A and B are shown apart, each in its own frame.
Chain A
Amino acid sequence: MTRKSVFRDPAQCMNCKTCIIACKLKHMFPPHNTTGAAADPKGVNLIQVYHVDPEISGDNVHQPFVSIACMHCEDAPCIKVCPSSAILKDSETHITLVDQERCIGCKACLWVCPYGAPSFNEDGKLVLCDLCIDRLREGKKTACEAACPASAIYVASPEEISELRARKAVERIAGGKME
């Protein structure tokens, strides 16, 4: 496998939150069922989708939906700051992975992450998006990308994402599809 990166397109996202549930299902994160249903359950959440209040000018509506999760930074500040070396890079894909055995739950990673991506389980230990590395190894898409009805999520090498974005730019500038 090559280096992996993720692109979440704010122009395609429609705030349906399917990616969040696909992620919880894939990892079977809490919260789990209780009799009578909890009114305000809180659990591990690796993806957050934000609705930005629309700006309207003429016929243009600018209303991006921004989803935030671990970006799998190359020079990840969380890795540098972790005192117990609990955050590592997969040598092949450069996906940021967590060794929960080593994590001491100090949350220093949360201080330095520019995206607010770290989430913590009931024991206070770090849980991060692992880009469904097991699925990628099986040749499958990540759970969030596979489920997204708007094709707003794209997991690939940075080069492939770059090409995808360039194609979009060509369509926008030239009004046609790139050969």
Chain B
Amino acid sequence: MGDKQFIKSVCKACHGGCGVIITVENGVVTYLEGDPESITRGTMCAKGLASIQHINHPDRLKYPFKRAGERGEGKWERVSWDEALETITGKMKELIEKHGPNAICNSQGTGRGYNRYTVRLGNSIGTGNRGIGSSHICYFPRLRAFEATFGFNRLYCDYHGWGGEYPKTQISWGKQIEYSSSDGEMAVWFFEALKHAKNLILVDPRATSIANKANLWLQIRPGTDAALALGMMNVIINENLHDREFVANWTHGFDKLKERVQEYPPAKVEEITWIPKEKIVKAARMFAIDTPGVIQTGESLDASNNSTSNGRSIMCLMAITGNVERPGSMMNWIHPACGPMAAFGFEIFDNIKPENIEKAIGSDKHRFLDYGRCHTETVLRQLREGNCDLKMLHQHGGNFLFSLANTQNVRKALLNLEFLSVADQFMSAMCEIADVVLPVAHWLEEEDLWNTHPGFCTRAVNKAIDPPGEAWTTPKIYFEIGRRVAPKFWPWNSVEEMLDYQLRKADITWKEFSKLGHLSTTGKDQKYYKHKTDYWVKGGGFPTATGKVELYSTALEKAGYDPLPSHIEPGESYYSTPEVAKEYPLLLSTGGRIPYHFHTQYTNLPWIRELQPYPLVQIHPDTAKEYGIEEGDWVWIETKRGRIRQKAKMFSGMDPRLVVVQASFCYWEKQGPERVLPSNANVLTSDDGPFDGPAGSVNMRALLCKIYKMEEGDDTQVSFS
């Protein structure tokens, strides 16, 4: 026990970022636990704590590989890093020469603190097709809606009491923060703030675990969130409960919003959302009267063909109740001296020629995609049709065969790419169809900077052990690709210099920062009511075209979209496609999340797999009875696109018409189609539109399905179509 070290770092098992203390003995990680001195106060989750099985997994990718057979044939040749990188960057240069930079797209999976590298690489290449993936169905529609409304992205829930007040009314809207602290605030802050709250309103089709704590549960029909927010505003405005001072001084277009919400009286909203009108009225009054309040929103709002309105209507609700920049309400936080880490990516945005941005695929229809990205479903359709300008994808993490709508179509499209390179920690299903595969280090094996989501804290990811084999850290991979393909924008001599550069505004080096652990602006460092100062606009205001919170969005209007939020029916529903409902009579949501999985990750870790060996579909006991299904039965869930099997889990906490499948279940122990297809929720989803106008989002959370018990022997082999 001579050599026992304790290293402080940041867990990246999801993109929440809990503080962690790593015990290393003789070069081996022997223990992990939450850091009580960090902003997450020592708490962690099953995913992060199981990391010890992740780093030591025998299936980790350890060396770069090049395809030795056909795409997807599974034949590989081990190559050197030099050869792998020369192949990737050689292809990039060749395609730029031949077709221009828009032929190349580099993308990623969920943002584990490396988004800025992906963005910088795309910008340094100068491609207008800067990324495909799931940003348009996850998080970015809300960011763009914040921007269209407030002029900046975004507002966070003030759970911290730094301004002397905690939220009196909390709304949890399509979000299970207790299971997923990935897109903003952390569960531990939410629970802490809840102790001070008078009201908790839960908006969710299911009685989630926090339903116990809620004093009002709005059991919403999936995909009708904008209607609910508009209905609540109808009550608030017509009963004169809005914050008149804030509305008069700081908002634009209140009269037009007032007119719009008249189309959403509670009785009509009851018909749309299936929520009793009395509850809608009660929630509206509660939120407007018991202020300050916050609204915690989730990803289901984005995976909708009405994503922009979902986000915008909720933001208007925040604004008209004055829950902006007030202590205990929705806040935009001040960053520490190093500035937002994202700047590393955006600072060279001007390197992309305007005409290349204009040519970003699908951006003619969808003008509010993730900052100049192309539209994923359009790109994939063009690839399948063989007429796509985008020829090459370099992908870091993520797995589109699980995260994007209509798995079979996604795979066909990716196979039509001229070149696909994937960096990952395991030989994922997306690696399996690649030309080159790069092995990536785990967060326990890397040094990097971590920008906590709400922005008030930047922290050091400190290395505990060496990566296995020849795996490289994420910053190193981007650095080495960047300096080969666009050296002007990757001028540093080492990764350490690149980290120093990112910290330059704080006048601190990586080495110093690594020891210090974090730079934070918490407590008194935060300023409230910034719109009453020169913070955004000289003389006060918000950084929008009108200088005010735009309830009526001039940016959306200018781009030719509805400037006000509205309800648009999900692309597939009892009301929009009654003919489909005849054959597929049940309502399907793919929003089921498991607290110890993160998308496809961790079902290959024995500790995690033991918790739940198979995917679970939640069915109401009454419905199950009708279909002759019992707890634990294997059940087929079928839509117009295909069918999957999951095990029945009885659940009374939802509408009997609703079926909730678990998303992203990956059979890591299998190969090829058997790994991907049997239980993958996106086999069921549609990539065929309708899409949200501004954001291009596709509806994945409100579909129609049928279910039936799997007969013995019916678990037939699946194959890629």
Contacts and interface: CB of A to CB of B under 8 A. Distances in A.
Interface in A34-49: 34-43, 45
A40 B613 contact: yes
B209 A65 contact: yes
Contacts of B188: 149
Nearest to A45: B610
Contacts of B214: 59, 61
Interface in B263-312: none
B59 interface: yes
Interface string B643-684: 000000011110000000000000111000000000000000
A24 B607 contact: yes
Contacts of B178: 14, 16, 149-150
Interface stretch (B42-50, B338-346, B462-470): B42-50
B207 A39 contact: no
Counting chain A residues whose Cβ lies within 8 A of the other chain, the interface size class is: 35 or more
B215 interface: yes
Nearest to A43: B610
Given A20-B611, A149-B191, A54 B49 contact: no
A15 B209 contact: yes
Interface in A11-57: 11, 13-18, 20-22, 24-26, 30-43, 45, 53-56
Interface residues of B, number: 53
A97 B83 CA distance: 57
A146 interface: yes
Nearest to A141: B42
Contact of B652 (A32, A36, A45, A54): A54
B191 A151 contact: yes
Given A37-B606, A59-B215, A18 B45 contact: yes
Contacts of B26: none
A133 interface: no
Contacts of B604: 37
B449 interface: no
A53 B604 CA distance: 28
Contacts of B621: 53
B502 to A, nearest CB: 30
A63 interface: yes
Nearest to B187: A149
A148 interface: yes
B439 interface: no
Nearest to A171: B195
Interface string B588-601: 00000001100000
A147 B650 CA distance: 29
A2 B56 CA distance: 39
B652 to A, nearest CB: 5
A165 interface: no
Contacts of A65: 209
B627 interface: no
A18 B207 contact: no
A95 interface: no
A149 B607 contact: no
A98 interface: no
A62 interface: yes
Given A15-B209, A146-B42, A33 B191 contact: no
Contacts of A40: 609, 613
Contacts of B50: 21, 25
B13 to A, nearest CB: 11
* Most interface-central of A17, A37, A59, A63 (chain B CB within 10 A): A37
A64 B50 CA distance: 26
A63 B32 contact: no
Contact of B191 (A53, A55, A150): A150
A149 B18 CA distance: 11
A63 B211 contact: yes
Contacts, number: 148
Given A11-B212, A36-B59, A56-B207, A25 B31 contact: yes
A117 interface: no
A87 interface: no
A61 B596 contact: no
Nearest to B180: A16
Nearest to B671: A36
Given A21-B608, A45-B610, A53 B33 contact: no
B596 A17 contact: yes
B187 A150 contact: yes
A63 B209 CA distance: 7
Contacts of B179: 14, 16
A37 B59 CA distance: 8
A149 B609 CA distance: 21
A143 interface: yes
Interface string B39-61: 00011111001101100111100
Contacts of A25: 31-32, 49-50, 52, 607
Contacts of A39: 609, 613, 667, 669
Contacts of A38: 606, 609, 669
A17 B187 contact: no
Given A32-B53, A39-B669, A61 B46 contact: no
A40 B604 CA distance: 10
A37 B609 contact: yes
A21 B209 contact: no
B32 to A, nearest CB: 7
Given A147-B33, A148-B43, A18 B209 contact: no
* Most interface-central of B56, B191, B621, B668 (chain A CB within 10 A): B191
Contacts of A16: 45-46, 178-179, 595-596
Contacts of B36: 146
Closest 3 CB pairs of A and B: A31-B606, A14-B209, A37-B604
8 contacts: A14-B179, A18-B595, A22-B44, A33-B53, A37-B59, A54-B211, A61-B207, A149-B187
